[in-house]
Structure 1
Amino acid sequence: MNRRDVLKLAAQSAVFAQLAPIFTAPAQAAGKKELRYIPEADLNILDPVWSTSTIVAVYGHMVFDTLYGFDKDYNVHPQMAEGHSVSDDKLQWTVKLRDGLQFHDGQPVLAKDCVASIQRWGKRDFMGSALLSVVETLTAVDDRTLQFKLKKPFPLLPMTLATSGSNMPAMMPERLAQTSPNEQVRESIGSGPYRFVKEEWVSGSKAVFEKFAGYKPRSDSFPPSYTAGPKIAHFDRVVWNIIADASTAAAALQAGEVDIIEMVGADFLPVLKAEPSVQLLPRSTPNFAIMRFNHLQPPFNNPAIRQALLKAIDQRAIMAGTFGEENKAFWQFGVGYFSPDSPMANKAGLEAFTSPRDFKKAAAEIKAAGYDGEPVVVLDPVDYPWTHPCTLLAADTLKKVGLNVDIQAMDWGTLMQRRQSQEPPGKGGWNIFLTALSGMSNFNPVGHIGLRGNGKDAWVGWPTAPRLEELRQQWLDAPDEAAQKKICEEIQKQALVDVPYIPLGAFATVSGYSNNLTDIQLQRPLFTTMKTKS
């Protein structure tokens, strides 16, 4: 009997039913309509501008709001903005805020808050930095009007302010937005549909959100879609229970002790599929598993070693081993550096991932490149449902090509902190970690955090890749989509030379919901519009 069979049998045993009482009882008896949720990881950062982590973005879209939003088809719509006007020469954008916007501390949302928020966010986010690089002035004309005066036309301005796949352009009070972009904001005051209840927050255990009575949804005629349209909170409270153990989570959903599991472990999909009280729904926006290198430290400061690994990494084997061959409807291999469902996706150089794997050749090239056996520190987040097994599978490949692998176990929160270190691995740094990029973050090269090559100003890993930077600027200056697509083919080819990271495949997170829930948005966990059937 293999590991998956053992876990499937265990999940069906009565033992799991005894684990459910660790969760708090529903609050409906106290007159509160409560939604109980198990997120994919712990929440330990309260600043969605500072972090690119998915869990922080999920929290961010509950507590904060953005000037613009994306629908499920990548179209951009005003969100906090009522609308905008553009001058004939395209060098002046005037954005008007909706009336009645309010922060959770009771203060009105003013244009000066948005100006400060954009300026801070633009120093952290790559799309934001592209915008700020062409901004001559950004000012608050009055309490509800902010104005961009540009050095040259920037038609991507609304799309940039709708960014959702990396650092969130969250609007926050001016006093918080004046925090250095290199420091985390520790307060949680947004203007979104839910308020973070910090006094009930227990890191590693629970996070609580309450419906914000002062939130004013849009009155658009189109239904809500992803981060666009009216955001309507149907629950008084949303309680996150931080449960890393997949079997405990599955048992709790089966027993009705929670309403949602964000990421169902692959071993428990068959169990929950057979449960009549549960609906399994895949996220419609794909995630892209990647192996990220530290380009500042040996051995991966050597491009020849990174390139050699392209011959050994088997996307299909890693996806099947992580998510199960029986669940292949939820994952795919043979993917490159752009989201397959996006306009910029292309097949240039994809044979690097689809041709037969050659461990011997990869090992020989690594040795010829000068690898001398130094430890390769791989960060392993043991509490993350898919990343832990995926890390072990990837580490096994690294061993097969002769690398001296040192797997260091930790929780996801610790990994997020440690991956910021530029120190040598022996002094608290690292060589490799695995993570996922959202399809909404890699559908164009400007907001694609993994493709920046601007050295120590790049995302963690800090690759220096001048040609990638040149091509990124060419894409920004391209006259039309056809030209942009051609440039993206060149970007993908160049990424296979610089290898800022290695794509490991794409997958859809499969979430488990109580059958009593309806109107669920599937792009990412969003707690508005969703409601109970009865």
Structure 2
Amino acid sequence: MKSLKLALLLGSALIAVSPSAFAQTKGGVINVATIGEPPTLDAMASTADLVGIVSQHIFETLYTFDKSWNVTPLLAASLPEVSGDGKVYTIKLRTGVKFHDGTDMDSTDVVASLKRWTEVASRGKQTASMIASIEAADPVTLKISLNAPYAPLVSLLAFNNAAAIILPSEKQQNPMTDPVGTGPYMLKERKADQYIQLARFDGYKSPEGDENGYGGARHQYLDEIRFVPVPDANTRVEGAVSGQFDYVDSLPVEAYDRLKDQKTTEAVLLKPFGWPVFVMNTSTGITKNQDIRLAIRDSLSMEDMMAAAFGSTDFYSLNASMYPDGYSWKTDAGTENAYNVADPEKAAELMKKAGYNGEPIRILTSRQYEFHYKMAQVAAEYLKAAGFTVDMQVVDWATLTQRRADPKLWDIYISHSPFLPEPALIGAMSTSAPGNWDTPARKTAVDAFNSEVDPKKRVALWAEVQKVIYAEVPIIKIGDFNALSAKSSKLEGFTPAPWPYFWNVSLKQ
């Protein structure tokens, strides 16, 4: 047996180093403005970032990521022991961890939760075919046996999106009826479209060690955290300026000048943050045809979409690679003559080859992420110029996340993602994710990438995956962007992160 050494191959970290140490005091309530109402609190059942932002305070996973995007233990006591053939993972659990209902966590709860994850979560379903068994060896030990080596396993167990959260074995219902976790805060009250109120869980047992990204110590300085849905971006900006909200998520970049000289609030800029993406429906309807997907991509001007969405190149850059400079995953493989093409004649030829006959391209988007909507507007004009009929469907984010689950209801939906430490975490890599990309070429490339454990070889294999993405167009990357949010000058101990968290945060007295 040997300890797992997980190489994430990152040249730079997204999560900033924690502020310098200072005395923090307990007490107080903070109000956090989010882009809307989360469709669920079940972190397994959704890939929406909004769900992860809220639910990570209630539920915990076996592992999480530190400030350098290395996997680090959370509910597990240590990184797994991995057998010499790479197929058996033995995981020891921390002791003394309690659920919000007062019961003790043990391996029975973990085994039941991971089995639920393989049935409910898109990333769990992605992993299920690789798992031979999940068993409790004793009350504090579980064993995961695989059919073959699977390099992304621990990263998937650490991710807070379609997350492998640990629930009491008696509370495994689907849909979730009782949100009980082990996290530092517990659900106190939820009023739909008004707020989700979390209260300190006094029975919480924090991991040991210093604060370290999402890992390490989780101090519960605040009495309560109140997440308030504020769909209108301008209202979120004004709420930050007025001091109504202590943290405001996902602001339009044009608000930066409005925020930067305020006394009540401070601009928080994550650079680089991630990438906007057009997800294509590859299973049903007009975009099932690969030539139609190619025609859509070749119609589009990524430059005009990014300019419309973010204004200044201070906030965006054009980049065909799935990763930016500084990441070892960065590769130009497959991107030549396939990015920022904006060629209506080339698109028209592909449409003719596909037998396109004026069927509407249904674009599903939301104004709660204003940059999504602005990109959709520009995309619609370029698609029309190529000869497509466009049906723009603008809905709230919760409705979008519900509709994208039914492939009969859309052809393209617009989303975004932070740059993730492990490419296998990208949503389209799962055949059960919305879009349902599942082809022989995908299987060959992705399976080879996922089964290779040598970090250097995985870099080369990722380039092969990116080639297939560009050849088959299950998704269209638009560019790289920086994310803007705002925090109150009263908050202490806040560390900027893609999914903002509020343990280790206190209010100035």
TM-score (norm 2): 0.88
Q: Is the Cα contact below 8 Å between 1:380 and 1:408 reproduced in 2?
A: yes
Q: Does 1:140 align with 2:136?
A: yes
Aligned to 1:448: 426
The percentage of counterpart residues that share the same residue type is 26
Unaligned runs of 5+ in 1: 1-30, 424-428
- Please state whether the residue corresponding to 1:486 is helix, strand or coil: helix
Cα distance change, pair 38–82 in 1 and its aligned pair in 2 (3 A): same
Question: How far, CA to CA, are the matches of 2:235 and 2:426 in structure 1?
Answer: 35
Alignment partner, residue 411 of structure 2:
431
| Contact 2:348 2:386 (C-alpha < 8 Å) held by counterparts | yes
Task: Provide TM-score, normalisation by structure 1.
Answer: 0.84
Residues 359-398 of structure 1 aligned to structure 2 (within 5 Å):
359-398=344-383
Deviation at 1:98, TM superposition (A): 1.1
Higher RCO (Cα < 8 Å, 6 or more apart): 2
Change (3 A) 1:445 1:267: closer
Contact 2:211–2:218 (CA<8 Å) still a contact in 1? Answer: no
1:188 paired to 2:176: no
Maintained 8 Å contact 2:149/2:453: no
Give 1:316-465 correspondences, 5 Å limit. Answer: 316-325=303-312, 328-338=313-323, 341-352=326-337, 354=339, 357-423=342-408, 429-440=409-420, 443-452=421-430, 454=431, 458-465=432-439
When residues 305 and 274 of structure 1 are mapped into structure 2, their CA distance, relative to the original with a 3 A threshold, is same
Q: Would you say the 8 A contact 1:291–1:504 is kept in 2?
A: yes
| 1:70 has 2:65 as partner | yes
Calculate the aligned-residue CA RMSD, in Å.
Answer: 2.3
Alignment equivalent of 1:228, drawn from 196, 215, 219: 215
Structure 1 counterpart of 2:440, one-letter code: P
Whether 1:168 and 2:163 are equivalent positions in the alignment is yes
In 2, Cα distance between the equivalents of 1:241 and 1:155?
Answer: 38
* CA distance in structure 1 between the aligned counterparts of 2:340 and 2:52, rounded to whole angstroms: 36
Distance of 1:152 and 1:193 partners within structure 2? 36
Question: Offset of 1:355 from its aligned partner?
Answer: 5.7
Within 5 Å, give how 1:259-274 maps onto structure 2. 259-274=246-261
Instruction: Determine helix, strand or coil for the equivalent of 2:286.
Output: coil
- 1:49-86 per-residue CA deviation (whole Å, 9 max, x = no partner) reads 01000001111211101111111322111111112434
Say which SS state the counterpart of residue 478 (structure 2) adopts: strand
1:136/1:494 Cα in 2 relative to 1: closer, same or farther (>3 Å)? Answer: closer
Helix, strand or coil: the match of 1:160? helix
The alignment status of 1:517 with 2:486, answered yes or no, reads no
Give the whole-Å Cα distance in 1 for the aligned partners of 2:383 and 2:40: 31
- 1:348-396 per-residue CA deviation (whole Å, 9 max, x = no partner) reads 1333455653223223432342110112222232333332222222222
Deviation at 1:474, TM superposition (A): 0.8
Unaligned residue ranges in structure 2 (runs of 5+): 1-25
Residues 346-355 or 250-259, more deviating: 346-355
How far apart are 1:101 and its partner, in Å?
A: 0.7
**2:489 pairs with 1:531:** no
Distance 2:340 2:361 in 1: 26
| Kept in 2: contact 1:284–1:522 (CA 8 A) | no
1:502 Cα deviation (Å)?
0.7
Show the counterpart of 1:12.
none
Q: In structure 1, what is the Cα distance between the partners aligned to 2:255 and 2:426?
A: 32
Number of matched residues?
Answer: 482
Query: Is 1:82 equivalent to 2:77 in the alignment?
Result: yes
Going from structure 1 to structure 2, the CA distance change for 1:493 and 1:67 (only over 3 Å counts) comes to: same
1:12-51 deviations in whole A, cap 9, x for unaligned? xxxxxxxxxxxxxxxxxxx950111101222231111010
Match of 1:489 among 463, 467, 471: 463
Q: Is the 8 A contact 2:272 2:480 kept in 1?
A: no
Q: Which amino acid aligns with 2:330?
A: A
Q: Which is further off, 310-319 or 465-474?
A: 310-319
Q: Which amino acid aligns with 1:460?
A: P
Q: 1:286 to 1:184 in 2, by over 3 A?
A: farther
Alignment of 1:8-19 (within 5 A): none
Separation in 2, partners of 1:492, 1:405? 28
Are residues 398 and 78 of structure 1, via their aligned partners in 2, closer, same or farther at CA, if it must alter by over 3 Å?
same
Instruction: Give CA-to-partner distance per residue, 1:176-212, whole Å, 9 cap, x none.
Output: 33x3xxx431321111011112xx3122221111111
Q: Does 1:470 align with 2:438?
A: no
Could you tell me which of 188, 193, 196 is aligned with 1:204? 193
1:213, CA displacement in angstroms?
0.9
Residue 167 of structure 1 and its aligned partner are, at CA, apart by 0.9
Q: CA deviation at 1:130?
A: 5.7
Equivalent position of 1:23 in the other structure: none
User: Which is worse superposed, 66-75 or 293-302?
Assistant: 293-302
Q: Tell which deviates more after alignment, 243-252 or 155-164.
A: 155-164
Preserved contact between residue 334 and residue 353 of structure 1 (Cα < 8 Å): no
> In the alignment, what sits opposite 2:46?
51
- Please tell me the residue identity of whatever aligns with 2:156: T
Contact 1:60 1:168 in 2 (8 A): no
Distance in 2 between residues matched to 1:171 and 1:234, nearest whole Å: 23
Match of 1:219 among 201, 208, 222: 208
Residue 508 of structure 1: how far off its partner (Å): 2.4
- Determine helix, strand or coil for the equivalent of 1:482: helix
